[in-house]
Amino acid sequence: MRDGDSKPEAGIEARRLIRSRQHGALGTLMDGRPYVSMVAIACDTDGAPLLLLSDLARHTQNLLADPRGSLLFEATEGHADPLAGPRLTVIGRAERFDDPRALARFTARHPASAQYAGFGDFHLYRVVVERGHLVAGFGRISWVDGEALRFGADASALAAAEADIVAHMNQDHAEAIGLYAERLLGRAGTNWHMTGIDPEGLDLRRDGEVARLDFKEPVLTPAAARRTLVGLAEAARQARGA
């Protein structure tokens, strides 16, 4: 990829990185100077980053004065040289986003946040991404515009049904979820549960451990989600028997 490239493939690769990360570095402006802090991150259905911030936090005060900011996502664990691993910096604006559905996505991804998510001095913010700088590997560096970084297809039907889908899978298909983790992701162990589903994949959690399973094709409706989840379960069972 060359600098300035906004091919769909770059946007997909960037969103996969965003969706897989639990935390990131948030850069804000404080009296015209850069201020960087670590924050917990979830993402909306279209891949937009979501932050649950305290009004008392320095970074929140910075954003209230100037909503411009950046987020660094990195997946360098396991690399002998971390600079050889993938990372993405997104640039945009953080806006208050008082949406119960989006807040539920955040608290499902970060269960500990449920104890303070309802406090009056905590608010959800959605980052409107204007562009991103993706370093996907040696020599694979590109700027990706905001439109390419967002999942653009209408997945509102899936978003509306997400809570029901997740509850149904956790209550009635725990075995399938365990097979997803063990056979499709190589994450052994029990007690995995689903925390979210979006058009491009599903999120799993076991205590403090998380995993992401990307779909081969986008899923936009509950019916399509059901077909995909059934297909993944069958693929996992075949992998177990192999």
All structural domains of the chain with their residue ranges: 8-149, 156-241
- pLDDT 10s digits, 96-151: 999 999 999 999 999 999 999 999 999 999 999 999 999 987 778 999 999 999 99
SS3 call for 178 = helix
**CA–CA gap between residue 97 and residue 238 (Å, rounded):** 43
**CA–CA gap between residue 56 and residue 237 (Å, rounded):** 49
CA dihedral angle for residue 40, residue 44, residue 47, residue 48, rounded to 10 degrees = -70
**Statement: residue 60 has pLDDT above 60:** yes
Q: What is the largest CA-CA distance in the chain?
A: 61
Predicted TM-score (pTM) of the model is 0.92
Question: Considering the chain, what is the average pLDDT of its residues?
Answer: 93
In percent, the amount of the chain with pLDDT more than 90 equals 86
As a whole number, mean pLDDT of residues 200-222 equals 96
Residue pair 117/105 in contact (Cβ under 8 Å)? The answer is no
SS3 call for 204 = strand
- pLDDT 10s digits, 151-197: 999 999 999 999 999 999 999 999 999 999 999 999 988 899 999 99
**CA–CA gap between residue 174 and residue 233 (Å, rounded):** 11
SS3 call for 159 = helix
Fold of the domain built from segment(s) 8-149: Pnp Oxidase; Chain A (2.30.110)
**CA–CA gap between residue 216 and residue 64 (Å, rounded):** 39
Whole-Å CA distances, 133 to 4, 19, 97, 144, 183: 9, 16, 25, 6, 33
Supply angle C-alpha 33, 37, 42, rounded to 5: 125
Residue 83 — pLDDT band, cuts 50, 70, 90?
Answer: confident
Whole-Å CA distances, 59 to 79, 90, 92, 107: 30, 16, 15, 20
Cβ neighbours of 164 (radius 10 Å)? 10
CATH top-level class for 156-241? Answer: alpha beta
Q: What are phi and psi of 71, to 5 degrees?
A: -130, 135
